Amino acid sequence: MDIIDTIKEQIANNTVLLYMKGSPNAPQCGFSSKAAQAVMGCGEKFAYVDILQNPEIRANLPKYANWPTFPQLWVAGELVGGSDIMAEMFANGELQTLIKDAAAKAKASEA
């Protein structure tokens, strides 16, 4: 499987997916820390990929997503954006709604 297929599979198989530097509990940059805090603040389970441990993803995801920087948040297969967008959406309540709705739809489709 090539790396683009791996990325597509990760996005398809995880309702809420954060590509970041480090892990949510041990972020390796300030932007990833801010992003992880925003997503964790929404109260739903989410997956993450540490791009520092996955250099091929780090190199290829920006091309696939047409988004040059990390972190990147994907919800229900759609790119939400980076840490500034996530922080702004969290501050006005949009991120919580987006993630809770996506999680509820995913749970409903599993039932």
Residue numbering of the annotated binding site for glutathione: 21, 58, 70, 83-84
Residue 111 lies in a domain: no
Q: In which band, very low, low, confident or very high, does the pLDDT at 110 lie, cut at 50, 70 and 90?
A: confident
Residue 39 lies in a domain: yes
Residue numbering of the annotated binding site: 21, 29, 58, 70, 83-84
Residue numbering of the annotated binding site for [2Fe-2S] cluster: 29
- Mean pLDDT (the chain) is 96
Residue 86 lies in a domain: yes
Please, are residues 99 and 16 in contact by the beta-carbon 8 Å criterion?
yes
**CATH assignment of the domain containing 70:** 3.40.30.10
Residue 106 lies in a domain: no
Residue 107 lies in a domain: no
Q: Global pTM?
A: 0.96
26-48 pLDDT, tens per residue? 999 999 999 999 999 999 999 99
Residue 108 lies in a domain: no
Specify the pairing of strand 16-20 against strand 47-50: parallel
Q: In which band, very low, low, confident or very high, does the pLDDT at 111 lie, cut at 50, 70 and 90?
A: confident
55-109 pLDDT, tens per residue? 999 999 999 999 999 999 999 999 999 999 999 999 999 999 999 999 999 999 8
pLDDT score for 105: 94
pLDDT score for 1: 77
Q: What percent of the chain has pLDDT over 90?
A: 95
- Range(s) of the domain holding residue 48: 3-100
Give the DSSP H or E segment for 56: helix 55-65
Q: Which residues pair with 106 in a beta bridge?
A: none
Residue 94 lies in a domain: yes
- Total tally of structural domains belonging to the chain: 1
Residue 69 lies in a domain: yes
